Amino acid sequence: MVDVIIIIICIVAAVNIGFDSIKLLPQDILEQVSNFDALRFTIAGFAAIIGLGVGVAVQTTYRRLENQIRQTPIEVIVTRAIGLVVGLLVANLMLAPMFLLPIPQELTFVKPAIAIMGSVMFAYLGISLADTHGRTFLRLINPNSVESILVAEGTLQAISSKILDTSCIIDGRIEQLLKTGFVEGQIIVPQFVLQELQQLADSSNDQKRIRGRRGLDILNRIQETFPDKIVFRNTDYEEIETVDAKLVHLSQEINGTLLTNDYNLSKVAHLQGISILNINDLAKAIRPLYLPGDNLELKILKQGKEPEQGIGYLEDGTMVVVEEGDRHVGGQIQVIVTSSLQTSAGRMIFAKPYLDNYPSVVS
């Protein structure tokens, strides 16, 4: 629709210009014209054809400009607009004194010419500076402005809220995950989950009562440690009977991520398109590659710090300390893992040669 309007406007403007352009003809030519109306319509017809061509060109240029603007990130548009305004303001402030200078009558055209050139130059300079330092400028105004803009335009996705279920709270590992900072976004504890914990804590069954009280204690510690991160939501769905169904409904309603250790709940939620974070899956993913009792072939590269120790490395760079491995330096032997040590700096595996029962030295 916009394309048609642009072309029609150009055609109408060209016809009006052509219809009135007869007045611009020299007087001697006008004296030879016998039918002014026919001449007007003829010129207007040719002008309409020219207007059609101009309209198509304007419409094409408009569409190209529109596509370019749509593909330009919003923060670039904002910073360029600010740079343009600042550049024009600086140009007016710097050029204002020039208009007070006495200039001869013959050179009056110099003032508007300098004003135009100065405005164009400073406007371009402002846009260039905005392209170079725009993000820094936005961060000075609001540290989260760039991220907010990128989220609004769809370049980044907003962090989804995490919804805790009863099993995840009682498990307790969520507290350590929050301390490490691996879980982002708001942590939501629904009212019906709190009610379920309270029912467990008031249960006559000793095991259920211990689990319920443990869950409430963990929630209290989390709330004290992360008061800005945890949110207790009063929403309850009385028409839904089970807590699991309520959790699924709430996750769909707020487009949140469900944190649970319940295998069946994970499967049901996954079938309904809900994002799931299962702490058991996380623990399985980060479990040690080798457990005590596992066998592996290892090349001993050097002696260790302690007597009779040999040092080797796995493919991922993990250090393996082999007891009684000093005499196998330079050789590849089969070892059995005895223990492992995991720290924030990395993982270290301890092993010993698997030679007593299976003498298999490969040099």
Q: Flag whether pLDDT at 144 surpasses 60.
A: no
Q: Flag whether pLDDT at 142 surpasses 70.
A: no
Note the pLDDT of residue 26: 72
Q: Flag whether pLDDT at 72 surpasses 80.
A: no
Mean pLDDT of 154-159: 60
Note the pLDDT of residue 360: 41
Mean pLDDT of 68-73: 74
Note the pLDDT of residue 362: 39
Phi, psi of 123 (to 5 degrees): -65, -45
pLDDT digits over 203-238, tens only? Answer: 888 888 888 899 899 889 988 888 888 888 887 888
| Token pair recorded at residue 210 | 């211990």
Mean pLDDT of 141-161: 59
pLDDT digits over 268-291, tens only? Answer: 888 888 888 888 888 777 766 777
* 235 or 174, greater pLDDT: 174
Residues 6+ apart with CB under 8 A from 197: 166, 169, 170, 212, 215, 216, 219
Domains along the chain with CATH numbers: 2-71 (no CATH), 74-153 (no CATH), 162-285 (3.40.50.1010), 295-362 (2.40.50)
Note the pLDDT of residue 361: 39
Mean pLDDT of 104-112: 71
Q: Flag whether pLDDT at 325 surpasses 80.
A: yes
Mean pLDDT of 107-130: 82
Mean pLDDT of 48-67: 86
User: Mapped to the 3 state alphabet, what secondary structure does the chain carry?
Assistant: CHHHHHHHHHHHHHHHHHHHHHHHCCHHHHHHCCCHHHHHHHHHHHHHHHHHHHHHHHHHHHHHHHHHHHHCCHHHHHHHHHHHHHHHHHHHHHHHHHHHCCCCHHHCCHHHHHHHHHHHHHHHHHHHHHHHHHHHHHHHHCCCHHHHHHHHHCCCCCCCCEEECHHHHHHCHHHHHHHHCCCCCCEEEEHHHHHHHHHHHCCCCHHHHHHHHHHHHHHHHHHHHCCCCEEEECCCCCCCCCHHHHHHHHHHHHCCEEEECCHHHHHHHHHCCCEEEEHHHHHHHCCCCCCCCCEEEEECCEECCCCCEEEEECCCCCEEEEECCHHHCCCEEEEEEEEEEEECCEEEEEEEECCCCCCCEEC
Mean pLDDT of 172-179: 86
Note the pLDDT of residue 147: 56
The sign of the torsion formed by the CA atoms of 55, 60, 66, 68 equals negative
Q: Flag whether pLDDT at 19 surpasses 80.
A: no
Note the pLDDT of residue 3: 79
pLDDT over 90 percentage in the chain: 1
Note the pLDDT of residue 107: 66
Amino acid sitting at position 344: S
Q: Flag whether pLDDT at 359 surpasses 60.
A: no
Averaged pLDDT of the chain: 80
Note the pLDDT of residue 358: 44
Q: 290 and 349 in contact (C-beta within 8 Å)?
A: yes
Note the pLDDT of residue 363: 38
Confidence of residue 341 (pLDDT cuts 50, 70, 90): confident
Mean pLDDT of 74-98: 82
Q: Flag whether pLDDT at 85 surpasses 80.
A: yes
Parallel/antiparallel/unpaired status of strands 332-343 and 361-362: antiparallel
Note the pLDDT of residue 65: 83
